[in-house]
Amino acid sequence: MRVKLTVLILALVAATSIAFTAAPALAADVGVSVSVGQPGFYGRIDVGNFPQPQLIYPQPVVIQRVPVAVAPQPIYLRVPPGHAKKWRKHCHKYDACGQPVYFVRDDWYNNVYVPRYREDQERERHAKGHGQGNRDD
């Protein structure tokens, strides 16, 4: 009985240590949602009415040209360091291999885009919170 208990405890310790060792590898598969305007966001941004973005490269980057009657409009992306340099390797993650891409600089994103984006979001929340169009007059 004592031997079985010892074996059971050792098996439990081994399984636990394997689980903790594998946890960092599995953490990459967990779906974490990061939105525009939050630290760690990488992806497409809408520059609409924002000031002209500061770019990593002055010309858009296109990996594979696709035959179309009308040339696709360029998109603006914020990507992690290294992704712009090796865009061919990373473009599929952004569904942008056949599209002209401008890469925005991190300092412009953090110091211009994010504060203005947050102000716009707060203004929209404030307007909705004060019942514009929802008054019972």
Q: What is the pLDDT of residues 50-61, one digit of tens each?
A: 888 999 988 989
Among 87, 103, 100, 101, which residue's Cα sits nearest to residue 55? 103
| Residues written for the chain | 137
Contacts of 49 (CB under 8 A, 6+ apart): none
User: Per-residue confidence at 71, pLDDT binned at 50, 70, 90?
Assistant: confident
Residues whose CB falls within 8 Å of the CB of residue 98, separated by 6 or more in sequence, listed in order: 62, 63, 64, 65, 66, 72
Q: Could you tell me if 45 and 36 are in contact, meaning their C-beta atoms sit under 8 angstroms apart?
A: yes
pLDDT of 83 over the 60 cut: yes
Q: Rounded to an integer, what distance in angstroms lies between the CA atom of residue 13 and that of residue 7?
A: 10
What H or E segment, with its residue span, contains residue 45?
A: strand 43-45
